[in-house]
């Protein structure tokens, strides 16, 4: 039997080294891409949570003024007042999800306000195979909508004394909510009926 020439074996060794190096590079590249994708998903989750939290807090903060407008017959005027964006709540939720709030701002519309939050993750991609990734952090943005679901409330004055005794809200899904200004129910029991809070595309 004829043995394999040593010259051929010597030529094959550098090729083998190059193949191993190439496979190692590909593995590191795939790992870097996977890490970047995971960081991006994490930042998007933080942005979603922060925008929703800010919108829900805005809805909660709206309650005292809403109820105060009922006995004063100022409901129609109050409903077109803009929500205040509680960006501190957005910052708290972003931080809880390992991200930092970079932007937080409202966009006002007729009975439809939006709060947009942009966050940046705290961890960098930091891959040796992606130049400049040492300081590259994932950013994400999310927008939450606060929408009044029960337009055109009906006011009832039982005694014809100019004071509204009952407000009747007929909502878009057919649900009917009655609120007496003299003894309104707790805000948390009606806020989810009156105002819808959800994430939306920008």
Instruction: Let me know: does 121 contact 39? Beta carbons within 8 Å.
Output: yes
Does 18 reside within a domain? Answer: yes
pLDDT bracket for residue 8 (50, 70, 90): low
* Tens-digit pLDDT profile for residues 101-142: 999 999 998 878 999 999 999 887 655 555 555 677 889 999
Q: What CA–CA distances, in Å, run from 177 to 31, 54, 113?
A: 54, 25, 22
- Which spans in 85-156 are helix H? 87-96
Residue scoring higher pLDDT (16 or 170): 170
Domain with 44 in it:
11-148
Q: Is residue 191 part of a domain?
A: no
More confident residue, 162 or 90: 90
| 196, two tokens | 């819808």
pLDDT, residue 77, reads: 87
Is 1 a domain residue? Answer: no
Contacts 24+ apart (CB under 8 A), 21-27: 25/129
pLDDT digits (tens, 9 = 90+) for 36-69: 677 788 999 999 999 999 999 999 999 999 999 9
Task: Please state the domain count of the chain.
Answer: 1
In this structure, is residue 175 part of a structural domain? no
Residue in the block written with tokens 């930092």:
100
User: Between the CA of residue 70 and those of 91, 104, 159, what are the distances in Å?
Assistant: 33, 31, 16
Residue 75 has pLDDT above 70, yes or no: yes
Longest CA–CA span in the chain (Å) reads 117
| Residue 187 in domain | no
27 within a domain of the structure (yes/no)? yes
In a domain, 111, yes or no: yes
> Is residue 173 assigned to a domain?
no
Specify the pairing of strand 99-107 against strand 112-124: antiparallel
Backbone angles phi, psi at 189, to 5 degrees: -85, -15
């Amino acid at each position: 039997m004829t043995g394999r020439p040593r010259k051929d074996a010597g030529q094959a060794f550098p090729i083998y080294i190059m193949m191993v190096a190439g496979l190692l590079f590909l593995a590191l590249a795939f790992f870097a891409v996977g890490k970047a994708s995971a960081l991006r998903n994490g930042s998007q989750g933080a942005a979603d949570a922060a925008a929703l939290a800010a919108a829900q807090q805005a809805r909660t903060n709206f309650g005292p003024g809403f109820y105060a407008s009922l006995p004063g017959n100022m409901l129609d005027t109050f409903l077109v007042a803009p929500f205040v964006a509680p960006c501190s709540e957005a910052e708290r939720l972003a931080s809880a999800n390992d991200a930092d709030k970079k932007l937080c701002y409202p966009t006002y519309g007729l009975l439809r306000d939006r709060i947009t939050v942009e966050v940046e993750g705290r961890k960098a991609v930091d891959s040796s195979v992606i130049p400049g990734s040492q300081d590259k952090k994932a950013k994400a943005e999310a927008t939450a909508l606060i929408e009044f679901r029960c337009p055109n409330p009906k006011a009832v004055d039982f005694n014809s004394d100019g004071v509204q005794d009952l407000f009747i809200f007929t909502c878009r899904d057919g649900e009917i909510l009655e609120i007496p200004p003299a003894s309104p129910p707790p805000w948390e029991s009606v806020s989810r009926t009156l105002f819808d809070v959800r994430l939306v595309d920008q």
